[in-house]
Amino acid sequence: MPAGGILYPHSPEFDRFLQAFVGEDRKGNAVTVLSALARLKLEPWEEAAALAALEEKAAGSRLEMLLSQFRDVPELKQDSGTLARELTRLLPKRRKRLRADSGGVENRPANFPGLIWAVLTIFFLIVQLILAGTPGTGQ
């Protein structure tokens, strides 16, 4: 692992979302999504991952509920819904869901390493069967 991974162990995919500005607290300090979630005693990267797994509307509703509980930024009382919708657009794109017409199988590439091992195993079994039936096996 590179040295940067030791100092910053989190994946950068949520950085835009977590570093987004939420407002100023009563003391005039800038508050980001990361600091707001931390002040709510939530783990910011886990919450960001949970929000990213939801549909956009559900993620917006959940984030709005969280921001409405955050009392340090006075402006959030008025427009937490609008801000939540804007912030959810900063989350990484949601992964493809299971398709109904595929019978519950995910729409993803084949497992190539597993496929290669299966083909090699079958190949060696066929070679073994061929060599086992040839004369000169020592009997």
The answer to whether residue 15 is domain-embedded is yes
The answer to whether residue 127 is domain-embedded is no
Residue 68 C-alpha from the chain's centroid: 24
For the chain, the domain total comes to 1
**Which of 1-5, 32-36, 72-76, 110-114 has the highest average model confidence (pLDDT)?**
32-36
Which residue range forms the structural domain that includes residue 64? 3-88
Give the whole-angstrom CA distance, residue 18 versus residue 41.
15
Indicate if the pLDDT at residue 5 is higher than 60.
no
The answer to whether residue 38 is domain-embedded is yes
The answer to whether residue 125 is domain-embedded is no
The answer to whether residue 27 is domain-embedded is yes
The answer to whether residue 7 is domain-embedded is yes
Give the whole-angstrom CA distance, residue 75 versus residue 3.
40
Closest CA to 40 of 58, 60, 62, 56: 62
The answer to whether residue 45 is domain-embedded is yes
Indicate if the pLDDT at residue 100 is higher than 50.
no
pTM as predicted? 0.60
The pLDDT, as a whole number, for residue 19 is 93
The answer to whether residue 39 is domain-embedded is yes
